[in-house]
Amino acid sequence: MTSPTAYDAAIAGFEPVIGLETHVELSTASKMFCSCSTEFGADANTQVCPVCLGLPGSLPVVNRAAVESTIRMGLALNCRIVPWCRFARKNYFYPDMPKDYQVSQYDEPLCIDGYLDVTVDTDDGPRQFRVEIERVHMEEDTGKLTHAGGATGRIHGADYSLVDYNRAGIPLIEIVTKPVVGTGTLAPLVAKAYVTELRDLMRALGVSDVRMEEGSLRCDVNVSLNRPGDPWGTRSETKNVNSLRSVERAVRSEIERQADVLSSGGRIVQETRHFHEDTGRSTSGRSKEQAEDYRYFPEPDLLPVAPDAAWIDELRATLPELPALKRARLQQEWGISERELQSIVNAGALEQVAAAVAGGVDPAAARKWWTGELHRIASDRDLELADVPVTPAQIARVESLVASGSLNDKLARQVFEGIANGEGDVDGIVAARGLAVVSDDSALLEAIDEALAAQPDVAEKIRGGKVQAAGAIVGAVMKATRGQADAAKVRELLLGRLGVSE
């Protein structure tokens, strides 16, 4: 595990420059250059045709919806949409490539020169960074290889490899940032916040559902370090970074690694590195000297893409409320501070809180549960927040049980655990687990009497007017009732029993 001191030492000596290349699968119905379905999870090689299999003689035709999504993404990233651009062929031999070239965009991307503002939580409050966007371009995905046998899970050493071309030709957009400087110790958090913001933006636009567990968002992370005042250092590119958490971890571990090398007098080599989710570290891949020459040239089978200004304006008009504006609006509507809002955003819970509020839950309660208990459930179970199976209606029901006094917060937690386990609905779980708050006065009074008998000196103190000592008795009662009592009620009964008042 990363030791905080190693990172602190690295940042004390060096300034990081980071850059991110993010590939996202678009959620179009059909593929980039043919009409095959993009549905995830079909049997291998069932969603293929001569075009996406690259059979001799087949030809690509551009999916208009993919161009449209890319333009909308470009507009949302404040990019300029170019009036004319082309696809190019990126040539390399690999069995996941049906044509042994990938149709992509090279020196003529569709969208250029944009930016995205992201906010990072710091000890001094939320801080905003502007991440400049170099380009947004379109390309086709490759097939998916599965290597069987062998120790590494890579093609070398495998007994055999299977390839599924269902993924070949799925439309991708690649979003490339300009170098991001001046983030200092916050670099890993800025990287994570940027990818999070990108994800939210794409979901808001409806151009991708960004299912990270299906590999629909993949990041390459570039990092270099330099000593303050020196020119930028040599960068490495870490590939295969496929979750928000990993983006942060990849930047952090690469900063540590490079600082270690540089501090001991070594040199950073320009190379690609492979990130490993399990260890959170990367291993060396291809060096610059071994880098392939992709022999890019304009794809002669496709016409240039030349979106006219009227179309771009039309698409601009379809842009929904973008996440940053939406957050500002919700903060106001919910009546919460910027810090409170940021805590929701940091927990990745904005959509969940908004849905709960829309479902009738009080904003404070929705925030409490989604940044607290439900967030804990997600991280315990390694789930995305969106995959925690708790509905707004269930939260509303729990809240109403708490308000009426039949549940307390501790019991409510158990209800949510039950829902996450698939034990059923709120009332069913309350009944099955016997979670009702004990509100029968006689049962509580019995427990109070037992507690008083067990701690006669405390009882004496309370009788003598030391009301604050009541806590010890209340605690004992709560323990005896396994948390199923309402603490306020216990206190009230206790004081009544002893004939004292607050």
Partner 1 sequence: MPSPSEAGLIRQGASVLAHAIAAGEVSAEEVTRAHLDRIAEVDDRVHAFLEVVGESALASAVEVDRARASGEQLGPLAGVPIAVKDVMAMRGVPTTCGSRILEGWRPPYDATVVERLRAAGVVILGKTNMDEFAMGSSTEHSAYGPTRNPWDLERIPGGSGGGSAAALASFEAPLAIGTDTGGSIRQPAAVTGTVGVKPTYGGVSRYGLVALASSLDQAGPCARSVIDAALLHSVIAGHDPRDSTSIDAPVPDVVAAARRADVRGLRIGLVRELTGDGYQAGVSQRFAEAVAILEGLGAQVVEVSCPHFDYALGAYYLILPAEASSNLARFDGMRYGLRVGDDGERSVEDVMSLTREAGFGAEVKRRIMIGTYALSSGYYDAYYGQAQKVRTLITRDFAAAFEQVDVLVSPTTPTTAFRIGEKVDDPLAMYLNDIATIPVNLAGNAAMSLPIGLAPEDGLPVGLQIMAPPMADDRLYLVGAALEAALLDRWGHLLIEEVPSL
Binding site for partner 1 (CB under 8 A): 50, 53-62, 89, 91, 93, 95, 98-101, 155-156, 161, 293, 295-297, 300-303
Q: Classify residue 213 by its DSSP letter.
A: G
- Tell me the backbone φ, ψ of residue 119, rounded to 5 degrees: -115, 135
Q: How many CB atoms lie within 10 A of CB 454?
A: 12
CB of 82 to partner 1, least distance (A): 19
Nearer to partner 1, 60 or 109 (CB): 60
The span from the CA of 273 to the CA of 432, in Å, is 51
The span from the CA of 401 to the CA of 201, in Å, is 36
Nearer to partner 1, 59 or 358 (CB): 59
At 425, list the tokens: 């609905």
CB of 167 to partner 1, least distance (A): 15
Three-state DSSP class for residue 423:
coil
CB of 18 to partner 1, least distance (A): 26
Whether the Cβ atoms of residue 172 and residue 137 lie closer than 8 Å to each other: no
The span from the CA of 163 to the CA of 147, in Å, is 9
Whether the Cβ atoms of residue 117 and residue 336 lie closer than 8 Å to each other: no
CB of 58 to partner 1, least distance (A): 7
CB of 224 to partner 1, least distance (A): 23
Strand arrangement, sheet containing 282-287: 80-81, 111-122, 125-140, 171-177, 15-25, 217-226, 236-241, 271-275, 282-287
CB of 51 to partner 1, least distance (A): 8
Nearer to partner 1, 40 or 296 (CB): 296
CB of 177 to partner 1, least distance (A): 24
Nearer to partner 1, 50 or 184 (CB): 50
Nearer to partner 1, 156 or 267 (CB): 156
Nearer to partner 1, 89 or 192 (CB): 89
Nearer to partner 1, 101 or 129 (CB): 101
Nearer to partner 1, 99 or 375 (CB): 99
Mode of pairing for the β-strands spanning 271-275 and 236-241: parallel
CB of 154 to partner 1, least distance (A): 12
> Quick one: which of 223, 187, 225, 191 has its CA closest to 15?
225
At 210, list the tokens: 């960004």
CB of 97 to partner 1, least distance (A): 8
CB of 175 to partner 1, least distance (A): 24
CB of 46 to partner 1, least distance (A): 14
Nearer to partner 1, 237 or 299 (CB): 299
DSSP secondary structure letters along 356-420: HHHTT--HHHHHHHHHTHHHHHHHHHT--GGGS---HHHHHHHHHHHHTTS--HHHHHHHHHHHH
The span from the CA of 191 to the CA of 336, in Å, is 26
The CA–CA distances, whole Å, from 297 to 60, 88, 102, 108, 305 equal: 16, 5, 11, 11, 16
Whether the Cβ atoms of residue 336 and residue 349 lie closer than 8 Å to each other: no
Nearer to partner 1, 168 or 473 (CB): 168
Q: How many CB atoms lie within 10 A of CB 44?
A: 15
CB of 21 to partner 1, least distance (A): 20
Q: What are the start-end ranges of the E strands in 65-159? A: 80-81, 88-91, 101-104, 111-122, 125-140, 144-148
Whether the Cβ atoms of residue 72 and residue 45 lie closer than 8 Å to each other: no
Nearer to partner 1, 50 or 125 (CB): 50
Nearer to partner 1, 125 or 149 (CB): 149
Contacts 24+ apart (CB under 8 A), 178-181: 178/19, 178/132, 178/133, 178/134, 179/17, 179/18, 179/19, 179/222, 179/232, 180/17, 180/18, 180/19, 180/20, 180/129, 180/131, 180/132, 181/15, 181/17
